[in-house]
Amino acid sequence: MRILVLAFLASCGNSPDPRVITGGGVGDGAIDGVVNIYVIDNDTYSPIVDATVEIAGRDQQTDATGLVIFNDVHGPQTLAIKAAGYRGTLWQDANGANLTVPVTKLGNLAAQQATLAGEVANWSAVTVPTGHVKAAVVSYSQSDTFGDPANNLATPANGNVCVGNPTTCSFSVVTRTGAVTLTAAIVDLDPHGNADASDDTYTIIGWAMSPSLQVDAGIDQTGLHLTQLATAQLQTVTIDYATPPSALTKRDAVVGIEISKDEVVQLPVLPSGATSALMPLPTAFATGATYRLTGIAQTAAGGTGAQSVIIQHGQTAATLGAERWLEAPTGLAATRTAASVNVVANAKLHTITWSDANGELFDATLFDAKKLTVSVPALVALPTTGSMTVKAQGIGADFDLGNFSLDTDTALLWGVSSEPATIN
């Protein structure tokens, strides 16, 4: 009898109760009989109802909780997801009995932003040497969602920059929604006595900031004041790039202040190749805040070519160092129906995305580094005409692919490298 019971239990495989993994992720053991799949909105974490999920030629629609359950499945699975208003998503060779897949809305970000306007207080007290020009660049704090496009909103006509006026520094800046802190880098612009902007140099001489603001979609705010930080709240920060990929010769750095797991003040990009700059102390923003270093190595073409980005969290010293880098992907070959790329050494995951002029249309996450060829499923077929960009990425992370949460394990993501290709 005992043998029969054990045999029955063994035949049941792995059948955990369905659970949502916060932010998306994998958990609860390998797939062996049952896989529970939740589909959620990448921004709000809310369930996506009536999304189509396809595995091995079988498809189901998610219920009111965003859940589908597939039975009689074993080992790593490739799942394709299509939901109205969202980009197509594929996870290839994922292996967790509970999977939560975040999907991202298609199209224009204009509905999820607002414009904030005001001035840098006490601007007349800022002085620069004769022949130089004082200026300020205002930026907004970012969410900590990896690759969130709302972190890169452009302000029309450089409204977030003020230059030259001796008495006032007025600005407007387009920001994301949610908790937002504004910062202004105050700079000394040296034109070197001529009108040729190509030889201008910039030196950060101060900083200003706002208190944390609540920004709601489409609700503009005016009359804001950014207060200049005292000298005691500033220090010179040094950047140690260590050993970036030798082929990526353009080196840049962004110093961030990690206020919370949901808000990071990313200070403006240092001049290319710069190794030091005057920066705020993290404690000027919040008790317990720390520095974050984002190091960027890319081709001379800048953001249109190969790139490697590293992120170092939780730094407290005045020297911020890059510990490791990923080489850029190589061998990317892509069409409208398939793509392949070579393995990026030390990458935990690989992704391939297809985009057109309106944004990303389809993204594939490849869990098995031995299988870096992906086919676009018919469920999420791409446009047959028009120019498209395909981007391959290697992602460095220190989590277990069989057990992770994209919300709680964000700090374990340490790098991403990319290589683009164009389809006409």
Whole-model pTM: value is: 0.83
pLDDT score at 62: 98
Place 111 in a pLDDT band, splitting at 50, 70 and 90.
low
Place 36 in a pLDDT band, splitting at 50, 70 and 90.
very high
Residue 410: is its pLDDT beyond 80?
Answer: yes
pLDDT score at 357: 86
Residue 1: is its pLDDT beyond 80?
Answer: no
- Mean pLDDT of all residues in 379-407: 95
Residue 97 resides in a domain: no
Place 194 in a pLDDT band, splitting at 50, 70 and 90.
confident
The tally of domains found in the chain comes to 1
- Mean pLDDT of all residues in 196-216: 91
Task: Indicate which CATH number applies to the domain containing 195.
Answer: 2.60.40
pLDDT score at 302: 59
Residue 280 resides in a domain: no
pLDDT digits (tens, 9 = 90+) for 309-357: 999 999 999 999 998 999 999 999 999 999 999 999 999 999 999 999 8
The most distant pair of C-alpha atoms in the chain lies apart, rounded to whole Å, by: 95
pLDDT score at 74: 96
pLDDT score at 110: 57
pLDDT score at 9: 37
Residue 205 resides in a domain: yes
Residue 72 resides in a domain: no
Token readout for 109 is: 């970000």
Q: Which domain holds residue 171?
A: 110-228
Residue 202 resides in a domain: yes
Token readout for 418 is: 């990319």
The contacts of residue 342 (CB under 8 Å, 6+ apart) are 329, 330, 331, 372
The Cα–Cα gap between 200 and 246 comes to 28
In 252-282, which positions are buried (b, 16+ CB within 10 angstroms) versus exposed (e)? bbbbbbbbeeebbbbbbbbeeebeebbbbbb
**DSSP-assigned states of every residue in 87-130:** -EEEEEEE--SEEEEEE-B-S--GGGEEEEEEEETTGGG----T
Residue 6: is its pLDDT beyond 70?
Answer: no
- Mean pLDDT of all residues in 128-149: 86
pLDDT digits (tens, 9 = 90+) for 7-31: 443 456 899 999 999 999 999 999 9
Residue 334 resides in a domain: no
Q: Which helix (H) or strand (E) holds 376?
A: none
The contacts of residue 366 (CB under 8 Å, 6+ apart) are 92, 93, 349, 350, 351, 352, 372, 374
pLDDT digits (tens, 9 = 90+) for 273-298: 889 999 999 999 999 999 999 999 99
Place 195 in a pLDDT band, splitting at 50, 70 and 90.
confident
- Mean pLDDT of all residues in 192-198: 85
pLDDT score at 146: 62
Amino acid residing at 145: T
Q: Residue 112: what are its φ and ψ, rounded to 5°?
A: -120, 45
Residue 34 resides in a domain: no
The Cα–Cα gap between 94 and 83 comes to 20
> Cα 77 from chain centroid?
26
Q: Which helix (H) or strand (E) holds 417?
A: strand 413-423
Please say whether the dihedral angle defined by the alpha carbons of residues 109, 143, 100 and 309, taken in this order, is positive or negative. Answer: positive
- Mean pLDDT of all residues in 1-11: 41
Cβ atoms within 10 Å of 320's Cβ, excluding its own:
22
Which of 68-82, 130-144, 245-259, 267-281 is the least confident region? 267-281
Residue 244 resides in a domain: no
